[in-house]
Amino acid sequence: MRDATVEDAAGISNVRTRTWQAAYAHVFPAEQLASLTPESGLDWLRRAIAEPFPHMHTLVAEVEGGVAGFANLGAARDEPEAETGELFAIYVLPEASGGGVGRALMAETLARLHVEGFAEAILWVIEDNPRTRRFYELAGWRLDGGVKDEEWLGTVVRELRYRIALGRMT
């Protein structure tokens, strides 16, 4: 586990693309998922890694020298005045799923959020994503009642907010 560098941007984008295509095949139209490419948003990703916002971190997990997963975290977008952090994204390549990469990324994410001084953290997840929701719940995240509808790839999906307390971590 380490902080991402600009050189990791292509690997991170590949993980994001492949994970979306595998995890959301039942949610989004096939042609929309097929239109996702690792090159999409690569310039933005490079800038975000090179010049992160305050309290923002992008972490990568490597397997056999390649990026197998990543997490992106920082101050909560919806609660800027609160002591709340946010897990913006956590993705692991389908073939690396179940091998501990996601758990290691989650542990480091929670530790970083705690070190940044956040008392709690939130994340948003697509409602129709039972495997990922189970992963979050096993890591201690709990639904807090937050709900929103977002449009992704031309499809409106319901997202649920999860929350975790960070103050008790050591």
Ordered by where they begin, the domains of the chain are 2-165 (3.40.630.30)
pLDDT of residue 168: 53
**pTM (two decimals):** 0.93
Low-confidence ranges of the chain (pLDDT < 50): 169-170
pLDDT of residue 169: 46
The DSSP-derived string for the chain is: -EE--GGGHHHHHHHHHHHHHHHTTTTS-HHHHHT--TTTTHHHHHHHHHSPPTT-EEEEEEETTEEEEEEEEEE-SS-TTTTEEEEEEEEE-GGGTTTTHHHHHHHHHHHHHHHTT-SEEEEEEESS-HHHHHHHHHTT-EEEEEEEEEEETTEEEEEEEEEEE-TT--
Give percent above pLDDT 70 in the chain. Answer: 98
pLDDT of residue 79: 74
pLDDT of residue 136: 98
